[in-house]
Amino acid sequence: MSASGNKGTCSGTISASMAATFTCQGATTSGPARLSDGGQTLTFTWSDGNPHRFVRAKPA
């Protein structure tokens, strides 16, 4: 999968056990991924403790 943000586009994987690993600008970070709000919110909590949340939105 890929994700875009202020560091550009990063590539990564999420395993069946919800372990996420992403590489951005040569740096790799990992941590658990969690779904909430009935599957509408995806949260990654990285090894540095910094969470990133993504909320599903209806297309415009």
Residue 20 contacts residue 30 (beta carbons within 8 Å): yes
32, pLDDT greater than 80: yes
**Of the listed ranges 2-6, 10-14, 17-21, 24-28, the one predicted with least confidence:** 2-6
Please give the C-alpha separations between residue 55 and each of 1, 16, 27, 29, in angstroms, as whole numbers. 16, 20, 24, 21
φ and ψ at residue 14, rounded to 5 degrees = -130, 120
Rounded Cα distance between 51 and 31, Å, is 9
State pLDDT tens for residues 35-59: 999 989 999 888 888 888 888 888 7
Map residue 17 onto helix, strand or coil. Answer: coil
